[in-house]
């Protein structure tokens, strides 16, 4: 057993020292009727070589974005992950440490989290960020719980252009607290419309908007934010961190809470997890924040150091009065994001934003000209758009995937009824050749009588 | 001169303090000139760029390699943090999780294009069901706390369906903090019962509190004192008889593999911390993974989607009207699922049993060898961890914190301290199966030495540690003068 060092002789010696004659004697508190008196029905242990061979084989049954041109997004993006991020993030010092409960020997982890918080504050234009939530959807859940705690109100208004999966998760996570949810329709894909304001009122804890929105559109949200504030309603921005080199920050637009999915910051798509929930809030809300927060302090010799702080918000101290139940978070993903952002710098972030956005404009323009295809929405799109394909988008996806392209996500995946809708995303890793191939295949698909 | 003679203790710069205008560590792939420009209306444009650090790749690498050396970690030395199961994290697990056919999958791909991934989830689910003796499972929860919450929502749905959602969930006072926090989020009140003098659930107290308002009981087994709840079958019967459901916090499953199964004990649900029992690394705080295994009667309430097999094809079943909804945006922490399966395959059924056997022997060895010096909380054979009180040392004027800090000077990570709350000056020691007898002997010597120091030079302990990158930190000051980001002015 390669992970168990002690030999039968070691064990005998130890049992002797313990003062028992067999291992069984140590189990005297486990009633015989509750013992599993048979071997587990799990196949015999494998050599490392076999494990690698078999799991590699399983992985090869999948159609990977690493071998295909990936135009799928909706919160999970195929950005490039620099080698240095992987090299640093595979160091045992970061990988095999626990939560930094003993700060004197966890300054590496603690300082990285402090740097992470500082970078997230910069991106979102907010004064406070935490050390991570599980993912984008659970970060939104926590934002709603925070808005409820702060306003003592029970109603949430969110738009149709907020990620439907995040909404489903946030609803599940808050339903037992008696929260109710109203969805504001976005008929043109835009969140700048009057029906949203009409749903607001003095009983609304939070208005939730997405920026850029689920359909890739960058809405002008300033007026809506002001309207919500006039009702004493908090405004939650679900924000794409990758757009923050270009767009006005949510903080500048008046956001009270900003959440988002940080997978795009140096983490792999990995079939949906582990991901990185981002969470930032205004100063007024700091003491209601969920999760770990790192702060600066000094040691007894006056040296700068870092510690977990405001722990009286957390479950291990406050138990049933805690702001959240989160304990283990997504630390290593936040660590990777920190490495990534530090190498990107302001110019890298902006360059990726521009590279993704220009590719998006290009593909939109080209596809618009293909007979049978159209772009669903007007407005400025960042790196994603809703394409209308001829016929069922699932069939188009299948056709494209057989030709080496993961063409987008059929809207029906999100429980939406529009069978022709396909959500298409572009990152800086899509090449001109791939885009032109997309257009050529689409053209052939339309004219070749839709297979 | 900027440089000093280097010493063990030092301050490090923040990455922002290495920043130098005009430097970068990244080059984006080129965008052909023929592509249209990105035209953003002025009112949407950002005026001040976010002040991310401006450093070359080499500077970033050096900075973060240097920072990393300021961490204790399991690959460096002993880490007997009770309840956290700091076992060795096999390297092959990380390698297979990074395979392009796993790491490169979009969660939105149709099931037909990810059959290998779903097969893996199916095999992991089956193995976890065999280990727990349960009927069905969700891999969705991202950590133990989320697993607790998920199961409690299922309890809620179950009771709702029966016409009375009920009001309270019972826990013992030795429960982990996530238990009461999850209960409140699930819309229930918390009834906390004192443990009995053996550190176990007090059956009489339980009987007194059980009524039609009790939705269920949450209990950790082995409990947080490291003891098997030997009356668990009786306890579960009592709760069931009162119409309640019973949840096992499975954080301590490392004691039970192939020995005893929560399903056979009668539990209705339990979570499994893959980041404890199944060796996925803790990453300085996460990610984890907290699958929830359940009995058939709760299956209709499982979060969507549920993995299902149609003939030869794995699919996700979304059509489940009684589901609680979804607790995670996708299917949980898939990368951790890959690692856990690699671990289970490496060990096999017998290997898993050997894990628990060795974990229990190691814990009892420490119990026996340390109890002449440190006061064992309950003097009985323990399971995977041994829980002591620092009372003997407190009598000498030394607190458990001081013992913990002194251990750092010897290069050992302290046990979990001051938890469970019911043990005065608590030291909760979980060695795991990964440690050799030699390491345990060394630890015992160090603990004995620290006890001698407590007698002879108590002040030495009160000011420890001395050899760590920084010394004792002012935690109260950090909360008082809150400083949680580098730039103190907002930059929008
Ligand atoms: C007994 C117990 N219950 C629950 C948890 C919570 O698990 P997690 O940190 O994965 O959310 C832990 C670990 O931290 C624990 O030790």
Q: Alpha-carbon distance A420 to A431, whole Å? A: 25
Q: What is the pLDDT of residue B350?
A: 97
Phi, psi of A283 (to 5 degrees): -60, -35
Is A37's C-beta closer than 6 angstroms to any atom of ligand 1?
Answer: no
Q: Among A23, A40, A431, select the one facing B361 at the smallest CB separation.
A: A23
ipTM, 2 dp: 0.98
Q: Which region among A91-95, A149-153, B89-93, B487-491 has the lowest average model confidence (pLDDT)?
A: B487-491
A·B CB contacts under 8 A: 732
Q: Alpha-carbon distance A349 to A262, whole Å? A: 13
Q: Alpha-carbon distance B222 to B224, whole Å? A: 7
pLDDT of A449 higher than 70: no
Q: What is the pLDDT of residue A339?
A: 98
pLDDT of B325 higher than 80: yes
In this structure, the answer to whether residues A353 and A268 fall within a common structural domain is: no
Cα–Cα distances in angstroms (integers) from residue B85 to residues A42, A428, B316, in the given order: 22, 41, 32
Chain A residues with CB-CB distance to B350 below 8 A: 39-40, 44-45
Q: Alpha-carbon distance A229 to A227, whole Å? A: 5
Topology of the domain comprising B352-473: 3.90.1150
Report whether B159 contacts B188 (CB < 8 A): no
A198 three-class SS: helix
In this structure, the answer to whether residues A115 and A187 fall within a common structural domain is: yes
* Ligand 1 atom nearest residue B290's Cα: 10
Report whether B434 contacts A3 (CB < 8 A): yes
Continuous H helices in A105-158? 107-124, 136-151
A155 three-class SS: strand
In this structure, the answer to whether residues A333 and A351 fall within a common structural domain is: no
What's the pLDDT tens digit per position in B385-398? 999 999 999 999 99
**Burial readout A80-97 (b: 16 or more C-beta within 10 A, e: otherwise):** ebbebbeebbebbbbbbb
What's the pLDDT tens digit per position in A284-327? 999 999 999 999 999 999 999 999 999 988 888 889 989 999 99
For residue A383, with 0-12 CB atoms within 10 Å meaning exposed, 13-18 middle and 19 or more buried, which class applies?
buried
- Assigned domain for A28 exists: no
Q: Alpha-carbon distance B294 to B303, whole Å? A: 12
Could you say which of A283, A309, A340 is where a domain stops? A340
Phi, psi of A155 (to 5 degrees): -110, 140
User: Which run of H or E residues covers position B391?
Assistant: helix B391-394
Do the chains contact at A310 and B104, CB–CB below 8 Å?
Answer: no
Report whether B173 contacts B421 (CB < 8 A): yes
Could you say which of A313, A340, A367 is where a domain stops? A340
Look up the CATH number of the domain holding residue A430.
3.90.1150.10
Q: Which residue has the tokens 């796993």?
A: B102
What's the pLDDT tens digit per position in B153-175? 999 999 999 999 999 999 999 99
Do the chains contact at A58 and B119, CB–CB below 8 Å?
Answer: yes
Cα–Cα distances in angstroms (integers) from residue B16 to residues A356, B49, B304, in the given order: 27, 15, 43
Pocket test for ligand 1, best of B178, B332, B333 (most atoms within 8 A of CB): B178
**Burial readout A392-407 (b: 16 or more C-beta within 10 A, e: otherwise):** ebbbbbbbbbeeebbb
pLDDT of A21 higher than 80: yes
Do the chains contact at B331 and A413, CB–CB below 8 Å?
Answer: no
| ∠ CA B278-A336-B11, rounded to 5° | 105
Closest residue in B to A124 (Cα) is: B492
> To the nearest whole angstrom, how far is the Cα of B427 from the nearest Cα of chain A?
14
* Residues 6+ positions from A219 with CB-CB distance below 8 Å: A161, A190, A191, A192, A209, A211, A212, A213, A379
**Burial readout A138-165 (b: 16 or more C-beta within 10 A, e: otherwise):** bbbbbbbbbbbebbebebbbbbbbbbbb
Q: Which region among A364-373, B10-19, B318-327 has the lowest average model confidence (pLDDT)?
A: B10-19
Q: Which two tokens stand for residue A39?
A: 């071997």
| DSSP H helix total and E strand total for chain A | 14, 15
- Assigned domain for A280 exists: yes
Closest residue in B to A407 (Cα) is: B109
Domain membership of residue A330 as a residue range: 83-340
Chain B residues with CB-CB distance to A327 below 8 A: 143-145, 176-178
Averaged pLDDT, B457-463: 97
Is B85's C-beta closer than 6 angstroms to any atom of ligand 1?
Answer: no
Look up the CATH number of the domain holding residue A227.
3.40.640.10
Q: What string of DSSP letters covers A374-413?
A: EE---S-BSSEEEEE-SS-HHHHHHHHHTTTEE--EEGGG
Chain A residues with CB-CB distance to B369 below 8 A: 17
Continuous H helices in B133-216? 144-161, 178-185, 203-209
Residues of chain B with CATH 3.90.1150.10: 352-473
Q: What is the pLDDT of residue A193?
A: 75
Q: Is the bond leading into B215 cis (omega within 30 degrees of zero)?
A: no
Pocket test for ligand 1, best of B141, B145, B172, B417 (most atoms within 8 A of CB): B145
What's the pLDDT tens digit per position in B436-448? 999 999 999 999 9
Q: What is the pLDDT of residue A117?
A: 98
Question: What predicted TM-score, i.e. pTM, was given to this entire model?
Answer: 0.98
In this structure, the answer to whether residues A305 and A435 fall within a common structural domain is: no
In this structure, the answer to whether residues A73 and A129 fall within a common structural domain is: no
pLDDT of B6 higher than 60: no
Q: Please count the structural domains in chain A.
A: 2
Q: Alpha-carbon distance A415 to A148, whole Å? A: 27
Pocket test for ligand 1, best of B150, B176, B255, B387 (most atoms within 8 A of CB): B176
> What is the DSSP-derived secondary structure letter of residue A133?
B
Residues 228-287 of B with CB under 8 A from A: 228, 230, 232-233, 257-261, 264-265, 273, 275, 279, 281-287
Q: Whose CA is nearest to atom 10 of ligand 1?
A: B144
Q: What is the pLDDT of residue A447?
A: 86
Q: Alpha-carbon distance A354 to A434, whole Å? A: 18
Is B83's C-beta closer than 6 angstroms to any atom of ligand 1?
Answer: yes
Residues of chain B with CATH 3.40.640.10: 100-344
Distance between first and last Cα of chain A: 54
Confidence of residue A448 (pLDDT cuts 50, 70, 90): confident
What's the pLDDT tens digit per position in B326-343? 999 999 999 999 999 999
Averaged pLDDT, B235-264: 98
- Assigned domain for A45 exists: no
Phi, psi of B38 (to 5 degrees): -95, 110
Averaged pLDDT, A71-83: 98
What's the pLDDT tens digit per position in A194-211? 889 999 999 999 999 999
Is it true that domain B100-344 has CATH number 3.40.640.10? yes
* Residues 6+ positions from A222 with CB-CB distance below 8 Å: A253, A254, B43
Q: What string of DSSP letters covers B218-279?
A: EEESS-TTS---TTHHHHHHHHHHTT-EEEEEGGGGGGTTTTB-HHHHT-SEEE--TTTTT-
In this structure, the answer to whether residues A228 and A310 fall within a common structural domain is: yes
Do the chains contact at B258 and A127, CB–CB below 8 Å?
Answer: no
Report whether A212 contacts A381 (CB < 8 A): yes
Could you say which of A277, A306, A340 is where a domain stops? A340
Q: What string of DSSP letters covers A307-369?
A: EE--GGGSHHHHGGG-S----S--HHHHHHHHHHHHHHHHHHHHHHHHHHHHHHHHHHHHHHT
In this structure, the answer to whether residues A301 and A156 fall within a common structural domain is: yes
B400 three-class SS: helix
In this structure, the answer to whether residues A303 and A350 fall within a common structural domain is: no
What's the pLDDT tens digit per position in A243-282? 999 999 999 999 999 999 999 999 999 999 999 999 999 9
In this structure, the answer to whether residues A403 and A302 fall within a common structural domain is: no
In this structure, the answer to whether residues A178 and A231 fall within a common structural domain is: yes
B24 three-class SS: coil
Q: Alpha-carbon distance A410 to B108, whole Å? A: 9
User: Which run of H or E residues covers position A95?
Assistant: helix A92-95
In this structure, the answer to whether residues A217 and A158 fall within a common structural domain is: yes
What's the pLDDT tens digit per position in A171-190? 999 999 999 999 999 999 99
Strands B269-271 and B245-249: parallel
B321 three-class SS: coil
Phi, psi of B32 (to 5 degrees): -55, 140
Chain B residues with CB-CB distance to A314 below 8 A: 177
Averaged pLDDT, B285-289: 98
SS3 helix, strand, coil % of chain A, rounded to 5?
A: 45, 15, 40
The closest alpha carbon to B401, from A44, A103, A43, A178, belongs to: A103
Say if B130 is an interface residue toward chain A (CB within 8 Å): yes
> What percentage of chain A reaches a pLDDT higher than 70?
99
> To the nearest whole angstrom, how far is the Cα of B58 from the nearest Cα of chain A?
9
Q: Alpha-carbon distance A327 to A22, whole Å? A: 37
């Amino acid at each position: 057993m390669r992970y168990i060092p002690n030999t039968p002789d070691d064990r005998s010696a130890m049992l002797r020292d313990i003062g028992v004659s067999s291992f069984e004697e140590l189990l005297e508190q486990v009633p015989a009727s509750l013992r599993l008196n048979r071997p587990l029905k799990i196949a015999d242990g494998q050599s490392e070589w076999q494990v690698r061979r078999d799991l590699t084989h399983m992985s090869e049954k999948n159609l990977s974005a690493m071998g295909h041109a990936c135009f799928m997004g909706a919160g999970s993006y195929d950005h490039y992950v620099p080698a240095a991020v992987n090299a640093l993030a595979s160091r045992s010092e970061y990988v095999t440490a626990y939560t930094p409960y003993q700060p004197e020997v966890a300054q590496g982890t603690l300082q990285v989290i402090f740097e992470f918080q500082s970078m997230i504050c910069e991106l979102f234009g907010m004064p406070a960020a935490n050390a991570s939530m599980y993912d984008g959807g659970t970060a939104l859940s926590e934002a709603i719980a925070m808005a409820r705690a702060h306003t003592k109100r029970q109603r949430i208004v969110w738009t149709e252009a907020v990620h439907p999966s995040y909404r489903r998760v946030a609803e599940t996570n808050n339903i037992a607290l008696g929260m109710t949810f109203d969805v504001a329709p976005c008929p043109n894909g835009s969140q700048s419309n009057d029906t949203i304001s009409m749903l607001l009122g003095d009983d609304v804890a939070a208005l939730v908007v997405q920026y850029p929105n689920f359909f890739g559109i960058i809405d002008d949200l300033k007026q809506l934010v002001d309207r919500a504030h006039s009702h004493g309603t908090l405004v939650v921005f679900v924000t794409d961190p990758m757009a923050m080199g270009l767009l006005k920050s949510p903080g500048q637009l008046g956001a009270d809470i900003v959440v988002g999915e940080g997978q795009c910051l140096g983490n792999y798509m990995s079939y949906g997890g582990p991901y990185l929930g981002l969470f930032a809030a205004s100063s007024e809300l700091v003491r209601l924040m969920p999760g770990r927060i790192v702060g600066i302090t000094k040691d007894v010799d006056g040296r700068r150091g870092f510690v977990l702080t405001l722990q009286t918000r957390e479950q291990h101290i406050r138990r049933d009065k805690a702001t959240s139940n989160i304990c283990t978070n997504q630390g290593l993903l936040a660590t990777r994001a920190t490495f990534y952002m530090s190498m990107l710098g302001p110019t890298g972030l902006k360059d990726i934003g521009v590279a993704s956005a220009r590719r998006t404009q290009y593909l939109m323009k080209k596809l618009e000209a293909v007979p049978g295809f159209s772009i669903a929405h007007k407005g400025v799109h960042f790196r994603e758009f809703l394409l209308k394909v001829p016929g069922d988008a699932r069939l188009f996806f299948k056709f494209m995937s057989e030709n080496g392209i993961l063409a987008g996500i059929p809207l029906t995946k999100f429980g939406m009824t529009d069978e022709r809708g396909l959500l298409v995303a572009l990152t800086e890793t899509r090449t001109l050749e791939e885009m032109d191939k997309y257009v050529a295949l689409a053209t052939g698909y339309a004219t070749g009588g839709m297979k | 001169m900027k440089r000093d003679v280097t010493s063990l203790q030092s301050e490090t710069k923040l990455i922002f303090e290495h920043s130098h205008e005009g430097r970068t560590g990244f080059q984006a792939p080129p965008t052909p000139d023929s592509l249209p420009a990105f035209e953003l209306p002025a009112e949407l444009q950002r005026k001040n760029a976010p002040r991310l650090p401006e450093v070359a790749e080499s500077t970033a690498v050096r900075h973060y390699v240097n920072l990393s050396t300021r961490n204790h970690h399991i690959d460096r030395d002993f880490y007997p943090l009770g309840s956290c199961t700091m076992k060795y994290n096999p390297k092959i697990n990380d390698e297979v999780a990074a395979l392009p056919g796993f790491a490169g999958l979009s969660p939105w791909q149709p099931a037909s294009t990810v059959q290998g991934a779903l097969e893996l989830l199916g095999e992991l689910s089956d193995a976890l069901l065999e280990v727990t003796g349960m009927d069905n499972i969700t891999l969705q929860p991202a950590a133990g706390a989320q697993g607790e919450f998920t199961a409690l929502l299922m309890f809620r749905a179950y009771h709702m369906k029966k016409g009375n959602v009920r009001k309270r969930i019972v826990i013992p006072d030795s429960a982990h903090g996530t238990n009461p926090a999850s209960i409140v989020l699930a819309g229930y009140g918390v009834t906390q019962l004192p443990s009995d003098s053996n550190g176990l659930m007090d059956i009489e107290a339980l009987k007194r509190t059980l009524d039609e308002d009790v939705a269920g009981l949450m209990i950790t087994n082995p409990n947080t004192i490291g003891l098997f709840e030997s009356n668990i079958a009786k306890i579960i019967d009592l709760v069931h008889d009162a119409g309640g459901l019973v949840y096992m916090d499975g954080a301590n499953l490392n004691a039970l593999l192939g020995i005893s199964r929560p399903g056979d004990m009668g539990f209705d649900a339990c979570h499994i911390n893959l980041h404890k029992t199944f060796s996925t690394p803790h990453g300085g705080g996460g990610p984890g993974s907290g699958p929830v295994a359940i009995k058939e009667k709760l299956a209709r309430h499982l979060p969507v989607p549920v993995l299902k097999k149609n003939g030869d094809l794995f699919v996700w079943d979304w059509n489940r009207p009684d589901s609680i909804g979804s607790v995670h945006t996708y299917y949980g922490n898939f990368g951790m699922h890959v690692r856990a399966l690699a671990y289970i395959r490496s060990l096999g059924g017998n290997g898993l049993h050997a894990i628990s056997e060795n974990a229990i022997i190691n814990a009892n060895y420490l119990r026996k060898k340390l109890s002449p010096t440190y006061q064992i909380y309950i003097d009985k054979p323990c399971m995977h961890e041994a829980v002591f009180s620092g009372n003997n040392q407190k009598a000498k004027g030394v607190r458990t914190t001081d013992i913990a800090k002194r251990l750092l000077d010897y290069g050992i990570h302290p046990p979990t301290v001051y938890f469970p709350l019911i043990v005065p000056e608590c030291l909760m020691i979980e060695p795991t199966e990964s440690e050799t007898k030699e390491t345990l002997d060394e630890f015992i010597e160090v603990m004995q030495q620290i006890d001698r120091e407590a007698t002879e030079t108590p002040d030495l302990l009160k000011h420890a540690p001395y050899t760590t990158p920084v010394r004792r930190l002012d935690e109260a000051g950090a909360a008082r003068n809150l400083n949680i980001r580098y730039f103190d002015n907002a930059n929008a």
